[in-house]
Amino acid sequence: MSTKKLWGGRFSEEADPWVNEFGASIAFDQLMTKEDILGSLAHVKMLKKTGILNNEDADKIIKGLEEISDEYDAGTLVFDVENEDIHMNIESILTKKIGPVAGKLHTGRSRNDQVATDFHLYLKNRLPIIIEELYNLQKTLIKLAEENVETIMPGYTHLQHAQPISYGHYLMAYYSMFKRDIDRFEFNMKHTDISPLGAAALAGTTFPIDREFSAKELGFNEVYSNSLDAVSDRDFALEFLSNASILMMHLSRFCEEISMWVSFEFQYIELSDQFTTGSSIMPQKKNPDMAELIRGKSGRVYGNLLGLLSTMKSLPLAYNKDLQEDKEGVFDTVKTIIPSLKVFNGMISSIKINKDKMYAATENDYSNATELADYLSSKGIPFREAHAIVGKLVLECIQRNINLQDLSITEFKNISNLIEDDIYEILKPEIAVQRRNSLGGTSFEQIKKQIQQAKKDIQ
């Protein structure tokens, strides 16, 4: 006596419920319900078009699937762990609705190409949402940068004051990072926009199917040319997780700096109350929790990438049950990065920038030392010699607890008679920024060019 499973003809006994639960994926792959129904509709329409199914049977299946789709939209569809996955659940529901003719839906296909198709569709439908959120974030960055072209702040290397820069320049650096993220996700679309439907279990089918027709019905740009590859390929998911990991790394770096900039030690910026929280014991606290959460969530996205890479690393062709582990990490990553982008965008669009604090930080340091070295070099002193001279001068100033601009012209001339009164202008932070007018530099002119180009790019 066979089991109750739709595939149970070869089996003579049922598995225990706890075994069924372990093997089932319906708890998470029901997120692909709409995609599974759409895939089945495309498949049955192809079966009808090719004459593999007669019109009456095909129309009955189509009507049943459309009703199931409506029930899902209404929230009345109930799934059963006994039916393992979303594909068997939909087929079981369809069978109860229209009878044995539902079994004809599976003609010329397998769950192997069915699940691959669902997975492609799921990601294909979500990548544009992610890209759109990135565009929204870029627009916010452009607006902030435009408002802060002439806002001066310290630039850092090794977290030490290095040279003064424009805050607008700083923001446009992250704009460029997110631009590359968009490029990666758009390239990811190319490998996601391929239809596995019709590859069947691994070797294709004997039925005269039309894979190009079903691909067109689903909006796919092309079909897999090899049936083995079609059912076993998860490169598109790995690319997505890799791209998402890089994106989260960019967000995490930004959030790390936000967490520093809002601290008492810096006070460069202040976050809106909407994106901060307080302390249950310390009344004065205003914690950058949303920035910290986004920074923390980068770890789970990295974990999802490493998880799928590890799952895939030793899999023989073609389909293996291990591939059931391909989806949860992707679903979780989609659920993580879209809200992270929304929250991050809201957080920085409502940021308060303490321009005076930023500027003061560039006056009370030695980040203008390179200006003096460049000045001496422009007078004919070899740069290495100029570098050594200024280094000794900085040490002297540190010992005297003064800044370079506090030295008298006489003290400057004791170093070199080539130094003139114009050195005090040269040492001003805003002049240091303005003078860096090389392509991609931090000068106001260069930042405005970056912003103009960015506006063209996102139109």
Residue 137 CB coordination number (10 Å) = 24
Output the CA–CA distances (angstroms, integers) from residue 450 to 150, 168, 454, in the order listed. 14, 10, 6
Question: 25, 166, 195, 279: which one is catalytic?
Answer: 279
Go through 421-434 and write b for each residue having 16 or more CB atoms within 10 A of its CB, e for each that does not. Answer: eebeebbbbeebbb
- Are 175 and 348 spatial neighbours (Cβ–Cβ below 8 Å)? no
Q: Can you tell me the distance from the alpha carbon of 233 to that of 227, in angstroms, rounded to the nearest whole number? A: 10
If residue 291 lies in a helix (H) or strand (E), which one and from where to where? helix 289-312
Tally the C-alpha atoms within 13 A of residue 128's C-alpha that lie toward its C-beta: 5
- Are 315 and 232 spatial neighbours (Cβ–Cβ below 8 Å)? yes
If residue 165 lies in a helix (H) or strand (E), which one and from where to where? strand 160-166
Q: Can you tell me the distance from the alpha carbon of 424 to that of 308, in angstroms, rounded to the nearest whole number? A: 59
Q: Can you tell me the distance from the alpha carbon of 39 to that of 128, in angstroms, rounded to the nearest whole number? A: 20
Q: Can you tell me the distance from the alpha carbon of 196 to that of 232, in angstroms, rounded to the nearest whole number? A: 10
* Residue 279 annotated among the catalytic residues of the structure: yes
Closest CA relative to residue 185, chosen from 233, 118, 244: 244
* Tokens of residue 335, six digits: 């659920």
Q: Can you tell me the distance from the alpha carbon of 226 to that of 209, in angstroms, rounded to the nearest whole number? A: 15
Question: 12, 43, 110, 158: which one is catalytic?
Answer: 158
158 three-class SS:
coil
Q: Tell me, what DSSP letter sits at residue 222?
A: E
If residue 160 lies in a helix (H) or strand (E), which one and from where to where? strand 160-166
Q: Which amino acid, 217? A: E
Residues whose CB falls within 8 Å of the CB of residue 434, separated by 6 or more in sequence, listed in order:
443, 444
If residue 150 lies in a helix (H) or strand (E), which one and from where to where? none
Q: End-to-end alpha-carbon separation of the chain, Å?
A: 65
- Are 288 and 259 spatial neighbours (Cβ–Cβ below 8 Å)? yes
Q: Are strands 222-223 and 194-195 parallel, antiparallel or unpaired?
A: parallel
Q: Can you tell me the distance from the alpha carbon of 439 to that of 449, in angstroms, rounded to the nearest whole number? A: 9
List residues with catalytic annotation: 158, 279
